[in-house]
Amino acid sequence: MLGNVIGVGVDDRDHIFIVHRNDTFDSTAEIGAVANPKLSECCVPAPPVLEFDPAGNVVAAWGGPPADKSYVWPLSNHGVAVDNKGNVWIGGNGAGDSHILKFTHDGHFLMQIGVPGQPTASNDTTHFGRVAKVTFDFKANEAFVADGYGNKRVAVLDMNTGRIKRYWARTATCRPTPTSALQSRRADRAAVPQSSALRRAEQRRTRLCV
């Protein structure tokens, strides 16, 4: 059974990935099968991430807090994106969701980007502030993060390492970081960046829409 669906992504096979909040049910009326004591034969919450083939069949389901505590699952997962290698990126917009998770398409953990449980700080390069959406520029090998429910910025990451290369934000100051030549730019219209998309334009330019 699905809860609040909060993100949809599509891979290069036209498989659809969704992320939903599987803790948004009425425990007595909707998921009685997992109540203690059991209240009914129906229903059971599905794992947070589901993969569907083009015919609509569920081919995989995974996600949630790991038993080995190898990563921190977001308190309120938000947004799912699939890159050109089939890897799945997930953010979160709950209190303390200051990181991004990266998995293989079948749910094997690859990377936790950013330190969980941190306060919002639009100039910080060690964590995020309640990420809404991730978009990719495959040619540049960059991930564009709409870091907007807590922070008020767009951050650009190296897709392999997760390192923040640059960012711009409403509340950021123009302060380069010597070790990475990081530069921030003010963008007063980006009050709450909730999503982003890249579009190839003429003259080989790439436009970012936030």
The 77-82 sheet, strands edge to edge = 77-82, 88-92, 100-103, 109-113
Distance separating alpha carbons of residues 127 and 132, to the nearest angstrom: 14
Question: Residue 176: its pLDDT value, please?
Answer: 43
Burial of 174 (0-12, 13-18, 19+ CB in 10 A): exposed
pLDDT of residue 187: 39
List the one residue out of 73, 185, 182 whose CA is nearest residue 126: 182
Helix H or strand E segment including 76: none
Distance CA 177, CA 82 (A): 30
pLDDT values of the chain reduced to their tens digit, one per residue, 210 residues? 898 999 999 999 999 999 999 888 777 778 888 888 888 888 989 999 999 999 999 999 999 999 999 999 999 999 999 999 999 999 999 999 999 999 999 999 999 999 999 999 999 999 999 999 999 999 999 999 999 899 989 999 999 999 999 998 765 444 444 434 444 444 344 444 555 555 544 445 556 555
> pTM surpassing 0.95?
no
Residue 198 has a pLDDT of 54
H or E element, residue 205: none
Q: What is the pLDDT of residue 35?
A: 84
pLDDT for the residue 22: 85
What is the chain's length?
210
User: ∠ at Cα 209 (207, 210), nearest 5°?
Assistant: 145
Determine the pLDDT at residue 68: 96
pLDDT at 25: 78
Other C-beta atoms closer than 10 Å to the C-beta of 155 total 30
